């Protein structure tokens, strides 16, 4: 269980309790989390997480190598000011209180592996890596956010600072929060390509650096000790497993445990590949049928039970099964679990590149893109062509042209067009409360990012936006929470900032090297394991299997919750309209939208435990 406020340590960062005299702040730390604290005169620092470049920081600041992490961070701040955050490498949340200027600096690591949340109280800011620790504090309201819950159901995420609690905010990944007497400022301190700068694309002679950066990222994750690896059989986890096996042997660590789930559906069963790869790498393996991993109660009951216990609704539908694998790993002495989760984010080419290719009349490049995606994914050719020619090809340019014209000639019409778009995107059963619906619509209109190819095109613009998407923060926070609860952290090498900086600047044709997606990883694996077919492997999806589970278990799960009384009581959904929608989803009449019932079920289970 997470620590309550009474069981948590409160570390004051400010030297004064007078609100008007500065920015008093307190770090709430759970007793089972290692927190480093430093104090020097009026200044204080707190560091929670893992510091990668201790040696470099110690040398640059003239510190002793054995200096505590927080003390090292404090020395760096005194030397470089707020720019010190850009020089710190690791997975961390940190705060520095500058007593002389009465400024509080809070920061979260570049990709957000380590969470950082805060709440305003009468005596100042409370900060923690745990939402639950904050909302259990007597000065913080545990009231769920109706706005966030409704926007989540509508799949309209517009604010990456917002959480599912009205009183709690997040410091987004790669951001600094500066709080002073009269102002508060939030800004991004890390980006592979800052806004306004041109991309310095990776050149051919730099491509060889990829494997070295991946090795460095894996080695950083292995600092915790003996490892397990969530081995799915896909390219990303296979690459991590291969490198982790080499690094572990090279550092005298036990070889990692391969932790795998076997799916019964032939469309997503990778058991043969999982076994063959583990054997080729000489890894001991735990392979559990996914239906056994979730328990006798079934998939959805296990998911809802988890939603009731967690500080936020769970996002990853297979999380209960992976929690079982984590327990198996802990029982075998593993100290960390490596994943390949973010490989899809940074190794694949976003289909929006089709818009840039069509605009530039790069016909040969577009044909290669179609062929690449057809080899890499299971979608049929007609659907793929519609996706590339229209959805990610012509439509972005037509929308951009319309927005540019309306902004210059009829801004009122542009605003009305945006509103119609938002209204049409929100299902009628969400937000029956007129005030709540109006707020959702207003935020949606304000949050619309009009297509703007700029000088770099749609592809670069889309990659920049991805860094700040609220879902990116929620995904890593769920991974962190899973590790905290299992007592064994999850670490994803593909969220290493040095590796991401490199992959972000790798041009599409290099990522698709060899005629398929994820070219650098695919070629690395094909060289090492020529008999496993990685050079031809297509992306495996479990969507059809998940749909079968929802049809099999969804109605019983809906009835076990009594429908959605908590969501109804808060005015987040309309009782009659939702009942009709649930019946349509569970009966298969809305097959393509069946996933929406999972959103309703997990939010309802979470709310019932909170109310």
Per-residue pLDDT tens for 348-393?
Answer: 999 999 999 999 999 999 999 999 999 888 888 999 999 999 999 9
Class of domain 204-346+472-539: alpha beta
The pLDDT score that the predictor gives to residue 61 is 94
Q: Which residues contact 284 (CB under 8 A, 6 or more apart)?
A: 255, 257, 258, 278, 332
Q: What is the pLDDT of residue 32?
A: 57
Name every residue whose Cβ is closer than 8 Å to that of residue 560 and which is 6 or more positions away in sequence: 301, 304
- CB atoms closer than 10 angstroms to residue 219: 19
Measure the N-to-C terminal CA separation of the chain; round to a whole number of Å. 18
| Residue 16, pLDDT score | 46
What the block records as the tokens of 512 is: 């698709």
pLDDT along the chain (611 residues), means of 10: 50 61 78 79 94 94 91 96 96 95 96 96 92 94 96 94 97 96 92 87 95 97 95 94 96 95 92 95 97 95 96 92 97 96 93 94 94 87 93 93 90 91 94 95 86 82 89 95 95 97 95 92 92 85 92 96 97 97 93 90 96 82
Q: What is the pLDDT of residue 599?
A: 96
Element of type H or E holding 35? strand 35-40
Distance between CA 545 and CA 178 in Å, rounded?
Answer: 46
Under DSSP, is residue 572 helix (H, G, I), strand (E, B) or coil? coil
Exposed / middle / buried, residue 263 (Cβ in 10 Å: 0-12, 13-18, 19+)? buried
Per domain, the residue ranges of the chain are 5-188, 204-346+472-539
The residues facing 91 across adjacent strands are 50
Looking at domain 5-188, does it have CATH number 3.60.20.10? yes
Q: Is the dihedral of CA 106, 111, 115, 119 positive or negative?
A: positive
- Would you state the pLDDT for residue 189? 96
Per DSSP, the residues of 429-471 read TB--SHHHHHHHHHHHHHH------TTT-HHHHHHHHHHT-HH
Q: Classify residue 254 by its DSSP letter.
A: P
């Amino acid at each position: 269980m997470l620590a309550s406020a009474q069981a948590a340590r409160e570390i004051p960062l400010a030297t004064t309790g007078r609100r008007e005299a500065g920015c008093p702040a307190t770090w709430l730390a759970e007793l089972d989390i290692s927190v480093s604290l430093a104090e020097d005169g009026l200044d204080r620092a707190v560091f929670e997480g893992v510091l990668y470049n201790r040696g470099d920081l110690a040398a640059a600041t003239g510190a002793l190598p054995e200096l505590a992490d927080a003390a090292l961070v404090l020395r760096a701040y005194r030397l470089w000011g707020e720019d010190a955050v850009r020089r710190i490498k690791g997975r961390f949340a940190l705060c520095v209180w500058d007593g002389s200027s009465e400024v509080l600096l809070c920061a979260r690591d570049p990709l957000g592996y380590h969470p950082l949340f805060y709440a305003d109280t009468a005596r100042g800011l409370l900060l923690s890596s745990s939402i639950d620790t904050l909302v259990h504090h007597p000065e913080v309201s545990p009231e769920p956010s109706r706005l966030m819950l409704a926007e989540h159901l509508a799949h309209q995420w517009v604010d990456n600072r917002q959480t599912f609690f009205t009183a709690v905010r997040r410091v987004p990944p790669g951001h600094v929060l500066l709080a002073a007497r009269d102002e508060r400022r939030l800004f991004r301190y890390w980006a592979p390509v800052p806004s306004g700068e041109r991309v310095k694309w990776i050149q051919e002679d730099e491509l060889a650096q990829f494997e070295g950066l991946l090795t460095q990222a894996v080695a950083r994750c292995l600092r915790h000790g003996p490892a397990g690896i969530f081995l799915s059989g896909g390219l990303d986890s296979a690459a991590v497993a291969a490198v982790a096996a080499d690094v572990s042997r090279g550092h005298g660590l036990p070889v990692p445990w391969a932790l795998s789930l076997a799916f019964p559906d032939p469309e997503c069963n990778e058991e043969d590949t999982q076994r063959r790869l583990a054997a080729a790498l000489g890894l001991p393996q735990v392979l559990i049928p996914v239906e056994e991993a979730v328990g006798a109660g079934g998939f959805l009951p296990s998911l809802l039970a988890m939603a009731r216990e967690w500080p936020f609704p769970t996002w990853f539908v297979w999380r209960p099964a992976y929690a079982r694998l984590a327990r198996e790993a802990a029982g075998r002495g593993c100290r960390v679990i490596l994943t390949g989760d973010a490989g899809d984010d940074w190794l694949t080419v976003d289909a929006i590149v089709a818009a840039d290719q069509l605009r530039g009349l790069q016909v040969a490049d577009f044909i290669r893109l179609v062929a690449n995606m057809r080899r890499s994914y299971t979608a049929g050719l007609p659907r793929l062509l519609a996706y590339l020619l229209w959805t990610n090809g012509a439509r972005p340019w037509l929308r951009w042209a319309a927005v540019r014209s309306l902004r210059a000639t009829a801004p009122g019409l542009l605003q009305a067009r945006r509103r119609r778009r938002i209204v049409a995107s929100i299902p009628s059963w969400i937000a029956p409360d007129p005030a709540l619906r109006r707020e959702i619509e207003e935020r949606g209109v304000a949050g619309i990012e009009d297509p703007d190819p700029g000088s770099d095109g749609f592809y670069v613009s889309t990659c920049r936006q991805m860094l700040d998407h609220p879902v990116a923060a929620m995904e890593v926070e769920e991974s962190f929470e899973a590790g905290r609860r299992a007592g064994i952290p999850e670490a994803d090498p593909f969220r290493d900032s040095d590796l991401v900086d490199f992959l972000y600047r790798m041009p599409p044709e290099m990522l698709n090297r060899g005629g398929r997606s994820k070219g650098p990883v695919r070629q690395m694996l094909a060289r090492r394991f020529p008999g496993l077919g990685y050079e031809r492997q297509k992306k495996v999806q479990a969507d059809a299997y998940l749909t079968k589970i929802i049809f099999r278990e969804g109605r019983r799960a809906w009835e076990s919750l009594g429908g959605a009384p908590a969501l109804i009581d808060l005015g987040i959904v309309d009782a009659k309209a939702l009942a009709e929608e649930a019946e349509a989803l569970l009966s298969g009449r809305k097959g393509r939208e069946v996933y929406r019932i999972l959103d309703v079920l997990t939010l309802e289970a979470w709310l019932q435990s909170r109310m």
